[in-house]
A and B are shown apart, each in its own frame.
Chain A
Amino acid sequence: MKKTLTATLLLCCMFWQAKAQLMGPQYNYLKKYMGINLIGGYARQTFKHESLNRFAASFNSEFAASLNSQLAIPQQFEGPIAGLELSAAMFRFGYARRLNDPMEFEAEYKNGSIRKMLIETPKNTGYFDLLMPIAGGRVFAGMTVGVDFGYFRLNSYLHNNFGRDTYANGDGVSGIFQSHLDIQGRFGGRLDINLIKRVSISLRAETYNTVIGAQETALTGWRDEFYSDASLSNVRERRVYLAEDVSKRLNTDITLGNTLWEYSPAVYGQPKGMVYSLTANFLLVSFNKKDK
């Protein structure tokens, strides 16, 4: 209830401020920052997924004797971003799309085959920023709140030593594992510096984490993704940890080689971390009549 009241109060303040900005002559100097911004830049994002890390650790431990190099889940990724932003001076509504490549990592077996893994992360973010003008509007600083669709996809396949890639390997850790759709929130700070007419740069630092998660049951996660038909291939049984949030389940590992796939686990959990970005913004369409 307190949170709702606070949020309502904040919203009221924001709209009051927005009205003041648009109506009050003392805010006229902000009008030159109103318009549609084209944004482009670079973002670095940390990627922390505890259960994936634990899965990699157990994989490395179980397969240690046959591995030349170990599997290591990347802890961050980076790449260019681009987007559009509606700027009402203090208020910014925007959409950004990340253009980064998937994270790739691998472990090489002693016989020359390579376990290859690739993580595709969400690409789109919608955000709302509240920024306060400083130094006559040459600098804006404030908070940013954003929303992502929390979802990622893990491709795990074997590049065989005879040159072919196979997903269906009967080893229990191959496949394309897709998390269900959650909604992730972002919260952080933003600093804008207006350099020259129509051009500014933005610095952002945000945390991201799941705020609304889909209902998770044994049937709604990454069901059967770690299903193994290994016993059909006569692979000896091994136990590895699941790439899932163990707080949601009692059984935390899977026996590779177990064909009882209907009991195989769902994989839960989304990554969390920080996002740092630096973008250049160009005021593509100005709402300031004098500026036209």
Chain B
Amino acid sequence: MKLLWLNLLSCNGNVHSFLNYPYIEKFLKDFSFIYHPTLKTSYSLQDIVSQNIDCDILLIDGTLEDGHTKADVDIKTIIEKYGTKAKKIITIGTCASFGGVFLNNEESKYGLHFRQTQPHYRYQELKHKTINLSGCPIHPETLVNTLYSIKKDYELKLDVYLRPKEFYATTIHNGCTRNEYFEYKIDNHKFGNLEGCMFYDHGCQGPYTNGSCNKILWNEINSKTRVGHPCMGCTEPTFPKNNLFETKKNMGIPQNLPLGVPKRAYLSLAGVAKAFKIERFEIKLMDN
């Protein structure tokens, strides 16, 4: 299948992430890029904007901005040309999906079909063929597996933000190795340590962020929460937020509760869980 990787306002984090895919050689035998910002390709960017080259999947990486040009051609022209002929369009990363870090409160910037949580209609005619793969950066396996699903005509069910449920239906909390601490409402964490839960004090957004980081590990080894860093909610339309290392609380109650859990249910459970002092969770298990 022929892919066009169109780089817009981006930091190249998604490119880096993709290049770390462990089986990239195999991938490049099954797919070919007509253009990619760092890989050697048969066509230059100048060729892409001036000619009409066959393309099966258009990959959009980075925040869209009105008036932005690539090789002196407006990105709207490029997106419409290749988006119309492509079988599918994939937004790579949160910037292309929702606006992301480059949004900066500027109305002229947006994701392909969303501006944070709000629909954006500029490319409405392409919406039916778009799959959003949010993440900062995109998880390489999410991208590659989505591409293989398209290649094999496997229909991916999408959520309200056009993300494949296969990768985004559950939360980052799913598979977190710190669950015991979460269950008993004990933070007891120090950055970098392997013990403790980071939800209560350290800003972890895992329980209300959709994604697969703790089920499909990064570099097949690790995840932020496993290594001792809070989830920053990078797959969500609201990314990035402020104070990422601090849990915003109102009179001791976390402002953002685990996804779908009503406040009364959470507080009732928390009240019961906190009533018990469990020594095993108060001491260092591995570092001592």
Physical interaction between A and B: no
Binding site for A on B (CB under 8 A): none
